[in-house]
Amino acid sequence: MIPAAFEYYRPKNMDGVLSILEEHGDDARVMAGGHSLIPMMKLRMADVPHLIDLQDVGGMSDIEITEDGIRIGALVTQADIIDHSGLAASAPILREAALQIADPQVRYMGTVGGNVANGDPGNDMPGLMQCLDAFFSIVGANGERDIPARDFYEAAYMTAREDEEVLTRVTIPLPKGGYAYEKQKRKIGDYATAAAAVQIVKDGGSCVSASIAMTNLSDTPVFSEAAGAALVGTTVDDAALSVAVAAMLDDIDPTEDNRGPIAFKIHVAGVILHRAIARAWSRA
């Protein structure tokens, strides 16, 4: 399908972006890679009279790794994540997840900022960022503010970002311990039926911390404190694993769609999470 008519803007700096947003309000939307917004416009699921392309705005395509953490610009693509040797060493779960997003053509254009900012419950990065305790930097007419990923998502396609604000970067504490990103999908390029991000720290044979989040099993990504807490102080044996999986299944709220009925999604979620915890533990 062809989208409805719209005005296209390509400002050179953030001041220009914010000026257009302020002028047109709800009628304006920003676009990074376009792989979430453009299909919705073509299907007439999104009416965007004024489209602002961020590609010429400087300072949003960098990856910076320091002793304090990792900063990823909103225009960094999934392919950039995959190809960055520093990230592969300091936060390999990012590469593991990015390799499972869509297909190579999409990964060369789809951005981290676009993936986390639009509130699509099927996107992979939001749950991963909740697992990693990331926060998002948002800029608007009143300045910049930081929002924890675990507080950012309010409902499907609804976030804590205001219409006249732009997500500029993602900041992640340096991950520790073992990791895993497991995803089940119907075919290459599809959204997950269920996906799980797990980060586990081991000390002396016991789990001392665990962070667990899942994707596409509710109208927002699901970070489960109870699932992580169920593993702490254990050797992540079968009993602890079962308690953690049960805790997560209590927190999700899947709906029936073309990926299957609710009972099937709950079953898949349990299988995927069990695999992710076991693999993260084996790497811890």
Model pLDDT for residues 10-64, shown as the tens digit of each residue: 999 999 999 999 999 889 999 988 877 888 788 887 889 999 999 999 999 999 9
Residue 67 lies in a domain: yes
Residues 260 and 192 in one domain: yes
Residue type, position 49, single letter? P
Find the largest Cα–Cα distance for the chain: 62
Q: What is the DSSP annotation of 47-75? A: --SEEEE-TT-TTSS-EEE-SS-EEEETT
pLDDT of residue 33: 84
Domain range for 43 is 7-53
Could you tell me which residues come within 8 angstroms of residue 225 by beta carbon, excluding any fewer than 6 positions away?
none
Residues 71, 136: one domain?
A: yes
At 45 the pLDDT is 76
pLDDT of residue 189: 85
Q: Are residues 162 and 101 in the same domain?
A: yes
According to DSSP, the residues that pair with 167 across neighbouring strands are 138
Last residue of a domain, one of 172, 196, 211: 172
Residue 161 and residue 158: Cα distance in Å, rounded?
Answer: 8
What CATH number is given to the structural domain containing 72? 3.30.465.10
Residues 183 and 168 in one domain: no
Angle between the N-to-C axes of helices 262-283 and 238-251, in degrees from 0 to 180, rounded to the nearest 10: 140
CA distance 180 to 198: 5
Q: Which residue, 172, 190, 216, sits at the end of a domain? A: 172
| Coil, helix or strand at residue 206 | strand
Q: How many separate domains does the chain show?
A: 3
**Residues 128, 162 within the same domain:** yes
CATH of the domain at 46: 3.30.43.10
- pTM equals 0.94
Does residue 186 sit in the same domain as residue 236? yes
More confident call, 4 vs 230: 230
What pLDDT was estimated at residue 107?
94
